[in-house]
Amino acid sequence: MKTTINDVAKHAGVSIKTVSRVINNETSVRDHTREKVMVSVNELNYHPNLAARSLAGTKSYSIAYIYDNPNAYYIIDMQNGILNACKKHGFELLIHPCNAKEERIIDEITSMVKHTRIAGVMLTPPFSEMPLFVEKLAQLDVKIVRVLSGNTAPDNLTPCIMIDDKLASKTITEHLITNGHKRIGFLAGGAEHNSTKERLEGYKDALQQHNINIDKRLIVAGEYSFESGVEGAKTLIALTDKPTAIVSCNDEIAAGALFAARLLNIDIPEQLSITGFENSPFSRQTWPKLTTANQPNDKIAEDAANLLIAQIRNGDDRDIVKKYIPELIVRDSTTQIN
């Protein structure tokens, strides 16, 4: 038999109205009472009907995650992080994949927002990097939080979670330089992504600060895909003065580079060191495992969702910026050279 709000009230020794206030995240409830009610909610496995709750009142208890990203690992991590925050705060999550390049994308999202009564939207690249899209979305009276690549927010349109890709990429490149590498290639992701630009800048900064000339032939354009890593690595390895190390824009590209090296009978890391970025499952499923930068996407997503829900509850439109710096993880795909 399904647990009801009456069961929770009886178990916690409080009124039905108090349980309702806790479930609705009202600030008038004392912390001790809130904790007692939530213990009963968890022990009885009570699941309030959030849709009915939203229809019955003036508030919406749903947020949306709008995305366009082919990386399945990234999307799964982001969804799990947002869901953790939603469960903690009693919110529902609407997941809306779509094509950022679609001509009528703003109309599509506008229609979705109006018909679902969501209270807030979380955006990741490429949508978070589209100012016009964000401005149009803000006109719909919903709260917005963006996840962006960079050290500082590019504007004050919304609260942001910033990921310092540039500093992390610089750290990865310096790790290779410290190990004696001077001919270091760079396999880029899609040029339209700020993360690609930031990671390339970090790579260049490291070279320049160690008085190593930037050779444009060692920088190969590409996409965030395994296939792009394969082709990019083949291009670098075909050079007469080929690199002794490769910085890849993400782990999927790096896994492709590893595969290409194997096809060409190149030993990793003895003949070629390869690094990834993000610490996705790709970095741990390859052999050897990849040196990479740990970007905890699930925690980033949960942080962003917590920030979004706080904005919805408090009606606070302050310019809040939080920052993550992906940390270097050294594994077996890199080594020192003579």
Dihedral of the CA atoms 138, 53, 307, 110 (nearest 10)?
A: -20
Looking at the chain, the domain(s) classified CATH 1.10.260.40 span 5-48
Is the full-model pTM beyond 0.75? yes
pLDDT of residue 56: 45
pLDDT of residue 55: 44
Class of domain 167-293: alpha beta
Range 5-48: architecture per CATH: Orthogonal Bundle (1.10)
pLDDT of residue 24: 63
Whether 58 has a pLDDT exceeding 50, the answer reads: no
Whether 41 has a pLDDT exceeding 60, the answer reads: yes
pLDDT of residue 149: 95
pLDDT-wise least confident of 142-146, 200-204, 246-250: 142-146
Residue 275 DSSP one-character state? E
Looking at the chain, the domain(s) classified CATH 3.40.50.2300 span 56-164+296-325, 167-293
Q: How far apart are CA 207 and CA 211, in angstroms?
A: 6
End-to-end CA distance of the chain: 70
For residues 103 and 239, the model is more confident at: 239
Is it true that the peptide bond before 288 is cis, omega within 30 degrees of 0? yes
Q: Which residues pair with 198 in a beta bridge?
A: none
Mean pLDDT over 209-231 rounds to 97
Cβ of 288: how many Cβ atoms within 10 Å?
14
Range 56-164+296-325: architecture per CATH: 3-Layer(aba) Sandwich (3.40)
Which residues fall within 8 angstroms of residue 52, CB to CB, at 6 or more apart? none
Find, among 317, 312, 311, 323, the residue nearest to 160 by Cα: 323
Q: How far apart are CA 48 and CA 52, in angstroms?
A: 9
For residues 197 and 338, the model is more confident at: 197
C-beta of residue 8 within 8 angstroms of C-beta of residue 44: yes
**Long-range pairs of 54-61 with CB within 8 A, sequence gap ≥ 24:** 54/117, 57/24, 59/24, 59/119, 60/117, 60/118, 60/119, 61/24, 61/90, 61/91, 61/92, 61/119
